[in-house]
Amino acid sequence: MSVKPCLRVENLHVSYDVGSAGFLGGRRKLHAVNDVSMEIAAGETLGLVGESGSGKSTAGLAILRLIDVASGTVRLGETDVAGANRTELRALRKRMQMVFQDPYSSLNPSMTVAQLLEEPLVVHADVPKDERRSMVGRMLESVGLHAGYAARYPHEFSGGQRQRIAIARAMMLHPELVVLDEPVSALDVSTQSQILNLLKKIQGDSGTAFLLVAHDLSVVRLMSPRVAVMYLGEIVETGPSGRVYDEPAHPYTAALISAVPFPDPERQRTVHRIILGGDLPSPMSPPSGCRFRTRCPFVMEICSREAPPKVAVEGGGVASCHLHAHGPKLGGRSLVGFMKDRQLVTVE
Amino acid sequence: MSDNTAPLLEIRDLSVQFPSPHGWLTVVDKVSFNVGRNDIVCVVGESGSGKSVTMQAAVGLVQPKGGRITSGSVRFDGQELVGMGNRQINRIRGDAIGFIFQEPMSSLNPAYTVGEQIAEVVRRHRGASRADAWKRAVEALDRVHIASAASRAAEYPHQFSGGMRQRVMIAMAIACDPKLLIADEPTTALDVTIQARILELLRELQRDSGMSVLFITHDLGVVADIARYVVVMYGAQVVEAAPVDDLFAAPRHPYTSGLLGAMPQVALERGHDPIAIPGTVAQAHAWPNGCRFNPRCGYRREGPCTTAALPLTSVGNGLVRCALTEELRPILGRATMVPA
Amino acid sequence: MSATTVEAAPAVSLPPVSTFFQRFCKNRTALVAAIILLIIVLIAIFAPYIAPHDPARSSLRNILKPPGAMYWFGSDDLGRDVASRLMFASRLSLVASLQAVAIALVIGMPLGLISGYVGGWVDTVISRCNDALMSFPALILAVVIVGLMGPSLTNAMTAIGLVYAPRIMRVVRGSTLSVREEVYVRAARATGCSDARIITRHVLPNVTGPLVVQATVLMGQALLAEAGLSFLGLGTQPPEASWGAMLGTAFPYMAQSPVPTIAAGVVISVTVLCFNLIGDGIRDSVGRMRRSGD
């Protein structure tokens, strides 16, 4: 990256302690995020895509130090986030914020909208009361709500409106980075697009960098020029969204894309579907070598012996798959041609 | 498409009310549609459309929740279900009509093995012996592609993953070879790769057995994937109904067209930002005058759209509830899929 | 379509408190109980103006008279009007209960909040001490404390407050544990709120629901406990009288003059019942509010 990145994550590992294994056993570790690295430039959006168990939400929380980092570095600009102490962390909070998935539980029900939006100002800056009021009013308008709604309580609003309030809260201090954890998945389709359009506008106005965590590839593609795909705690492919979507270089990405039904019955009748067999392995005992091998339709012998190398992909980005160096030896080319040759309509 | 014999399920003018602080609210308003034999019908709508309640009312599940059916008829395989006694309807539910829901754990008892639960359904409806019922249970698990069905039948629900639990629920629903399978948002809570698998499974089961499927969802992608006929609901009413190809190629109702335009995938194909449908659904106690969608409709016209209640009219191969159908036909028709 | 579409929120804005009152009033039983309690409180406040006789005035000619026009509930063993005494005693009893519950809250609430929020060894230590205290039968513990401090109403109520503090602590800790996991608490942490601010501004307001219910019920129990202690002579000391003390002094004469005993007993029971019913009503109203939304 030629420009100094806003966020730089290197070799991030996050793990949880899980129960005790038997009477005398020690606590077991669940490695939710394994060796994840990424960079986001100022004002840019990076999409982080994955299904449940991929670790994408955990990565987002760890980047904001809302959960502990086991190892690795996270830098916001020049500042170290992963190793920050209490005071440093407090100062960092001004510069990085989060919008949570569920608008029904992310707003304190006993606080008014005004109190919710003023809180960042009260905690970090010594802004006098009147000025706070007007700042709240202006922020509400910029997210498409009447300034007068400041006196109301969250339960009086619909899901879409609550999410607007949550976005307003995150933007109050004009942070450099906002992590959006599935910001539209709890909303109706017609409301989703309203919120997505709002996010685009806000980014244009404020120049804030976004880390968009989502399971919906199309949502990510709309909002982010670059995307990273996660599976079972690891990033399996990165690249420009258009390229990843049209020419995936990793079997999981290809399966993910083909699984999303397109609203066109003719196309759905003729599409090549890749249906993944098996189940998501337990994150506590991930498969050896490549973590995706237990479900991969193109699995080879080497996949269980060695972890796949990161290969540069034609068109931008990186994929972690043995198919590029072994077997069909794709060497950075997309999977699409290879799949067409194999006539893939695999079930189980 | 459905064949010419009488439809398997005929819903006529069904209306359902629920109590609320504002009095009795009509959450399903004179809804009519059919499910033919060997047919797959999708009912699509967002929250507040009444799609789930319609299905629940059709099979007698609204009374326990405090609701009441105020009018209409539901004929299943020649029998009238509205007003049918509890005992009789219980014999139909689980047997001739199978169910799957969004949350598998709502139908699965954590205290019994899955084999026992499926076998119990078979015993209750077919009077089979324990051994026979168990055999059928294993067969059902096999049909839904659960590997090592015989041994897995002896496991408990918590030992299965989310996607597999959904398949167990499907096994339970088809164990008695139902004529009609009702699926209420069965894949909404699932990851997209697992959803693809479940939809593939449902298509396969339908093909092999010829049962009809009534599939309720909010996802137009899923509709395109699985439906043969589509019923669109908004504001407790049916606003459009058509064979699936017609609906997507040429939507007749601004809401349907709006839903399509709001989908990120469609927007990406067409190269624009998703077109948001402004506003939110009105509340059931305060429906707007005239067309219920009119406050949010970009084509709304004062007068025809805002005064009288609109009827459902027959148009081509389907139905639509709109005051401006003829006028909008070329416009909505143009705002469709970019050819693949 | 512009991204800045302004949508309409419902026209009327109700803070959670008003909604709560609305719901509470719909519960007939709770409403009646609240009205009765209000009447009792008003009697307590206006006792000097409505009592027919001076409660301390004894009249040796009118000992143990049965109920009649002059003495509504009869007279006690020193010729004092039972009705007037009950009215004045209500002040002592109610204030005493309030005192006990206040002490329980002041001790139990902060401990519960800290224990629930901080967790770890702090929680373990506080909880175990709590459990130890709770394992003593309440009345016996109160008797022991009063025995050490000397008999008086204040000491008795302090003792009861101490005895009830663990109960409050438990309720608060439980609510804190669940509220702590709420997304909005995480959101507050993401905003940069200090732990102290989170506890006071985010956890506490959302914990008050079950707390108010418990406190209300505890008022009734404190009243009973006070009655018990005073009955035993460890609470109110003569010439002051609380309902419990009156019960204690009337009891020996029950064969000759049952009404004073019964009257004191009924008054205590009714008040305690009112507290319980109000507590139930609050719990139902708060419970429903949590779930409201669209």
> C101: which 2 tokens?
């519950």
Using a CB cutoff of 8 Å and minimum separation of 24, what contacts does C174-178 make? Answer: C174/C116, C174/C210, C175/C116, C175/C206, C175/C207, C175/C209, C175/C210, C175/C211, C176/C112, C176/C113, C176/C115, C176/C116, C176/C117, C176/C203, C176/C207, C177/C116
Separation between Cα atoms, residue C219 and residue C209, nearest integer Å:
16
Distance CA(B78)–CA(B74), nearest Å, equals: 9
Distance between CA atoms of B266 and B19, rounded to whole angstroms?
39
What is the average per-residue pLDDT within C77-86?
87
Long-range contacts of C55-60 (CB under 8 A, 24+ apart): C55/C80, C55/C81, C55/C84, C55/C85, C55/C87, C55/C88, C55/C89, C55/C241, C56/C80, C56/C239, C57/C81
Contacts of A189 in chain B (CB under 8 A): 46, 218-220, 259, 262-263
Mean pLDDT, range C118-146, rounded to an integer: 88
State how far the Cα of A138 lies from the Cα of A98, in Å rounded to an integer. 20
A153, A166, A169 member nearest C16 (Cβ) = A153
Distance of CA B51 to the CA centre of its chain: 7
DSSP state of C201: I
Residue C120 in contact with partner chain A when CB distance is under 8 A: no
Q: Mind listing the domains of chain C with CATH numbers?
A: 26-52+67-291 (1.10.3720.10)
C145 CB-side CA count, 13 A: 22
Confidence (pLDDT) at B204: 94
Name, in order, each residue with C-beta under 8 angstroms of B84's C-beta and a sequence gap of 6 or more: B60
Dist CA A145 CA A264 (whole Å): 35
> Is B339's Cβ below 8 Å from some Cβ in A?
no
Whether residue C260 has a cis bond before it, omega within 30° of 0: no
* Residue C160: closest CA among C106, C99, C244, C213: C99
| ipTM of this complex prediction, to 2 decimal places | 0.86
What is the interface size between A and B, counted as CB pairs within 8 Å? Answer: 126
The number of beta carbons lying within 10 Å of the beta carbon of residue A246 is 12
CB A161 to CB C186 under 8 A? Answer: no
Most confidently modeled of A210-214, A334-338, B82-86, C116-120? Answer: A210-214
Average pLDDT over every residue of C28-51: 90
Beta carbons of A306 and A314 less than 8 angstroms apart: no
Measuring CA to CA, which residue among A318, A273, A329, A320 is closest to residue A297? Answer: A273
Residue spans of alpha helices (H) in chain A: 56-63, 86-93, 113-124, 129-142, 159-171, 189-206, 217-223, 241-246, 251-259, 265-270, 336-342
Q: Which of A316, A306, A278, A321 lies closest to A53, judged by CA?
A: A278
CB contact (8 A) between residue B225 and residue A275 = no
B147 and A294 in contact (C-beta within 8 Å)?
no
Q: How many residues does chain B have?
A: 340
Neighbours of B258 (CB within 10 A): 26
Report, as ranges of residue numbers, the positions in chain A whose pLDDT lies below 70. Answer: 1-3, 19-27, 343-348
| Alpha-helical regions (H) of chain C | 16-26, 28-50, 82-118, 120-134, 138-149, 153-180, 183-191, 195-197, 208-231, 243-250, 258-291
- In this complex, the chains that touch C, judged by 3 or more CB pairs closer than 8 A, are A, B
**Searching chain C, which residue's CA lies closest to the CA of residue B47?**
C294
Give chain A positions within 8 Å (CB) of B276: 190-191, 193-194, 197
Q: What are phi and psi of B90, to 5 degrees?
A: -60, -30
The candidate with the shortest Cα–Cα distance to A311, out of A242, A221, A250, is A250
* Residues of chain B positioned with their CB less than 8 A from the CB of A258: 196
Residue A16, token pair as written in the block: 């949880």
Please give the pLDDT value at position C60.
83
- The answer to whether the CB atoms of A123 and C183 lie below 8 A apart is no
Question: What is the per-residue pLDDT across A81-122, written as a single tens digit (0 to 9) for each?
Answer: 998 998 999 999 999 999 999 999 999 998 999 999 999 999
Contact C10, A156 (CB under 8 A): yes
Is the pLDDT score of B115 beyond 90?
yes
pLDDT of residue C2: 35
Under DSSP, is residue B7 helix (H, G, I), strand (E, B) or coil?
A: coil
The predicted pLDDT at position C101 comes to: 95
pLDDT band at B337 (very low <50, low <70, confident <90, very high): very low
Q: Which domains does chain A have, with CATH numbers?
A: 5-224 (3.40.50.300), 247-342 (no CATH)
Higher-pLDDT residue of C3 and C58 is C58
- 3-state secondary structure at position B59: coil
Lowest mean pLDDT among A75-84, B15-24, B126-135, B263-272: B263-272
Q: In this structure, what are the phi and psi dihedrals at residue C69, rounded to the nearest 5 degrees? A: -60, -40
- Residue of A108, A115, A201 to mutate when probing chain C, most C C-beta within 10 A: A108
Q: What are B241-297's pLDDT values in tens digits?
A: 999 999 999 999 999 998 988 888 888 888 888 888 888 888 888 888 889 998 988
Using an 8 Å CB-CB cutoff, list chain A residues near B219.
189, 261
Exposed, middle or buried, A20 (CB in 10 Å: 0-12/13-18/19+)?
exposed
**SS3 call for C64:** coil
d(CA A107, CA A285): 36
Q: Are A274 and A254 in contact (CB under 8 A)?
A: yes
> Burial letters for C91-116: b for 16+ Cβ neighbours within 10 Å, e otherwise?
bbbbebbebbbebbbebbbebbbbbb
For C28, other C-beta atoms within 10 Å of its C-beta total 9
Q: Considering only CB atoms, which chain A residues are within 8 Å of B248?
A: 263-265
Using CA atoms, how far residue A335 sits from A176, A210, B151, in Å, is 36, 29, 37
Nearest residue of C to residue A192, measured between CA atoms: C3
Window 158-177 of B, Cβ < 8 Å to A: 161-164
Among B306, B303, B304, B327, CA closest to B315: B327
Out of A251-255, C148-152, C215-219, C288-292, which region has the weakest mean confidence (pLDDT)? C288-292
Size of interface A-C (CB pairs under 8 A): 103
In three-state secondary structure terms, B153 is: coil
Q: Which phi and psi angles does B243 have, rounded to 5°?
A: -60, 150
- Give, as one character, the DSSP assignment of residue A81: S
Q: Is A89 left (phi over 0), alpha (psi -120 to 50) or beta?
A: alpha
Place of tokens 């909002």: A223
At which residue do the structure tokens 């006990």 appear? C100
